[in-house]
Structure 1
Amino acid sequence: MYTIKDVAKMAGVSTSTVSRALSGNIPVNDDTKKRVFDAVKQLNYKPNFLAKGLKEGRSSAIGLIIPDIRNPIFPALARGVEDTARNSGFNVIFCNSDENIENEIESVNMLKNRLVDGFIFATASVDCQHIHQLRDENIPVVLMVRNIEELFDAVVTNNFEASYHAVKYLIDRGLKKIAIINGRLNLSLYRERYAGYKKALEDHGIDFSQEICFNCSTADANCYNIVKNYFATHRDIEGVFATNDLRAIEAIRAIKDAGLRVPADVSVVGFDDIQISSLLDPQLTTVAQPLYEMGKLAVEKLIKIIDEKGKRKQKPEIDVVESKLIIRNSTI
């Protein structure tokens, strides 16, 4: 295996000149740079980036921890992270937490051992002492999609406002009995979407009913059964606001299987605008988040913190991206 000394010898330069040419951060004249890169190519030399990282105090790697890449919102987020990181000279190591805090902590420890320069989280829980510890160690952290009490830099949607307007849209269409299908309330985004739902009802003089607030931790048979069982004995719900598209899809299936029509009998609104939402029958009205852009912004924010050597700000910077209600056939 060839070393940097072999490259220097073939190129007729010093090892420090090879390092400067390969780093791209220090000017080297074009002729010298060409000789160095020709030697690298001829010898098939592979720089030791770990050793380089130890020497420079950075690895040019970012840790991305998400709940589950199979969840349709996360591929777009992850792609935004990876594309932007790559264009900025960073690699991304991503881990699935499977919505399990122990898995998340294990991933954090593994990535710390790999000397990543910073972390991007869509965290599994509000129980986040491991994230506080990273901050205390001056390791850069940015949260994405899921915020934690506005204690960290983050890129999020205004979930309260988006949900408020989604429910208001149903009310403006003359609907009064509007159910919500929500996720785990220990996650801030679902608490905020729930609060937006309740506020829209309150502002329009519609009584809130706990009976038609359904909670599903995931979009699975449990969600389908909860909705179908309700409609087996009740036919009074006119609209459903689901706090993600997967729950909305299960709701539509359950409503149809209960012998009702969407939207003639029950209108359904989702949240996220995942790709399949426009391919359903009927196509799903939903709140669209700019997922790729959120991933891009998260990386840009993290790299800025890394370049500032993890210096803690007096107040975290939270970027709130705009969402948009996409009207489709599940409500018209």
Structure 2
Amino acid sequence: MERSVRSRKEAASHMRHVTIKDIARIAGVSTSTVSRALSGSKELSEATRERIVKICNEQGYRVNALARSLIRSRTNVIGLIVPEVTNPFYAEVSLGIETHARQLGYNVMLCNSQQDTKTTEELFGFLTSHQVDGIILANSHSDAPRWIQQFAPHLPTVLLGTPASLSGDEVNSVCVDNLAGGRLAAEYLLSLGHRSIAYLGHRSGSLTHQLRLRGFMEVLGKEGLTPTVIENTADSSSIGAGYELSRKLFNEGCPHTAIFAATDSLALGAMQAADEFGISIPDDLSLLGFDNIIYSSLPKITLSTIDQRKSLLAEAAVDILTQIIESDERDEFTHRMIRPALIRRSSCASIVD
């Protein structure tokens, strides 16, 4: 009988609800450290995180997502606003953001602004009314930092695609180093012997495009060269825009040996137009893009390009946003810049003397 009573007591002890305080006591750390370990925070070492997770598993501790949401007044949902998810670049970035956010315990609510300021404002209101914990705005428009300050002044936000640090805006931002990307493109084409080069698809309203062009012209200028700049007045840097701009260029008789397209989508449009005009790439014309979208590596395309390193951009945006959400620290602003990389494929060739 005594043995039976002892067994019931032991069972009751094991069935006791294990709290985060229990885990912290066993691990010899604070409750906030346990919380960071379970949320995947980068502030902890992998060894510490693994040790805490192991203790949680051994003790049968499970995070109650609903309770955590109520206690912290959080939903574990973040909003993501992109100009257009049909754009291959934004489609890949969106997937990267969703994947990394899920790993950290967050779900993503995806919205498309359709390149419209009014729609962007409405989407900020929509996401705020649905009590998202924070918002990532993916946009390269020069007014994007102002939109965040105006539409979501009290909500954790991160701007992806525009270097807010350059204009002094008090906005958290993540972007590729577009200035360095433009320089990298010019240096590569010059190394192949090209001297007559066109820059295809500059959009004056995009700070991203302004920086790419500036870096490109800086390097060419040092060699005493001035590229032909072909402006894009369309709302987006689409394949269709690249096709129309290139058709016009080829109709007028393209004198250049190389084209640097501001985006891969523009470059794909240029490829289509070149094919219609019987212009061989790269035998007659070298073509370099920017973005390294998934289509660029296809066997019949193999576009040389400047890689934005989209996975790093996506992870950085999520990390910055979730750290703000979980720490409630909003007095400082983070500006993270990712260095681009040159991807050599077969759309560029050396000039033969």
User: Which bin holds the TM-score, normalised by the shorter protein?
Assistant: 0.7 to 0.9
Measured after TM superposition, the shift of residue 123 of structure 1 is 2.7
Is this contact kept in 2: 1:154–1:317, CA < 8 A? yes
Match of 1:27 among 16, 22, 26: 22
Matches within 5 A, 1:57-136: 57-123=73-139, 125-128=141-144, 129-133=146-150, 136=153
Task: Give, as a single letter, the amino acid of the residue that structure 1 aligns with 2:338.
Answer: V
Matches within 5 A, 1:167-316: 167-210=186-229, 212-213=230-231, 216=234, 217-313=236-332, 316=333
Q: Under a length normalisation based on structure 2, what TM-score does the superposition of the two structures give?
A: 0.76
- CA–CA distance in structure 2, aligned partners of residues 233 and 187 of structure 1: 27
Task: Give, as a single letter, the amino acid of the residue that structure 1 aligns with 2:153.
Answer: D
1:145 aligns with 2:177: no
SS at match of 1:283: coil
- CA–CA distance in structure 2, aligned partners of residues 89 and 104 of structure 1: 26
- CA–CA distance in structure 1, aligned partners of residues 284 and 238 of structure 2: 22
- CA–CA distance in structure 1, aligned partners of residues 158 and 274 of structure 2: 39
- CA–CA distance in structure 1, aligned partners of residues 184 and 20 of structure 2: 48
Which runs of 5 or more residues in structure 1 are unaligned? Answer: 1-11, 38-46
- CA–CA distance in structure 1, aligned partners of residues 175 and 312 of structure 2: 11
Over the residues paired in the alignment, what is the CA RMSD in angstroms?
Answer: 3.1
1:326 aligns with 2:343: yes
Task: Give, as a single letter, the amino acid of the residue that structure 2 aligns with 1:320.
Answer: M
- CA–CA distance in structure 2, aligned partners of residues 133 and 53 of structure 1: 27
Measured after TM superposition, the shift of residue 26 of structure 1 is 4.3
SS at match of 2:209: helix
Give the fraction of aligned pairs with identical amino acids, expressed as a percent.
26
Task: Give, as a single letter, the amino acid of the residue that structure 1 aligns with 2:285.
Answer: V
1:317 aligns with 2:339: no
- CA–CA distance in structure 1, aligned partners of residues 231 and 87 of structure 2: 23
Is this contact kept in 2: 1:134–1:140, CA < 8 A? no
Assess, with a 3 A threshold, how the Cα gap between structure 1 residues 25 and 296 changes in structure 2: closer, same or farther: farther
Measured after TM superposition, the shift of residue 122 of structure 1 is 0.6
Residues 262-317 of structure 1: CA deviation (Å, up to 9, x unaligned): 1111100001111111115351100112112211111111111112214221xx32
- CA–CA distance in structure 2, aligned partners of residues 225 and 311 of structure 1: 45
Task: Give, as a single letter, the amino acid of the residue that structure 1 aligns with 2:247.
Answer: K
Assess, with a 3 A threshold, how the Cα gap between structure 1 residues 134 and 311 changes in structure 2: closer, same or farther: farther
- CA–CA distance in structure 2, aligned partners of residues 60 and 240 of structure 1: 45
Measured after TM superposition, the shift of residue 113 of structure 1 is 0.9
1:162 aligns with 2:181: yes
- CA–CA distance in structure 2, aligned partners of residues 87 and 110 of structure 1: 25
Q: Under a length normalisation based on structure 1, what TM-score does the superposition of the two structures give?
A: 0.80
Is this contact kept in 2: 1:101–1:124, CA < 8 A? no
- CA–CA distance in structure 1, aligned partners of residues 226 and 313 of structure 2: 35
Residues 129-163 of structure 1: CA deviation (Å, up to 9, x unaligned): 441035632x1111112334352221211111111
Measured after TM superposition, the shift of residue 193 of structure 1 is 0.8
- CA–CA distance in structure 1, aligned partners of residues 87 and 250 of structure 2: 27
- Counting matched residue pairs gives 302
Assess, with a 3 A threshold, how the Cα gap between structure 1 residues 150 and 265 changes in structure 2: closer, same or farther: farther
Measured after TM superposition, the shift of residue 183 of structure 1 is 4.4
Assess, with a 3 A threshold, how the Cα gap between structure 1 residues 82 and 166 changes in structure 2: closer, same or farther: same
Is this contact kept in 2: 1:277–1:283, CA < 8 A? yes
SS at match of 2:272: helix
What residue in structure 1 maps to residue 47 of structure 2? Answer: none
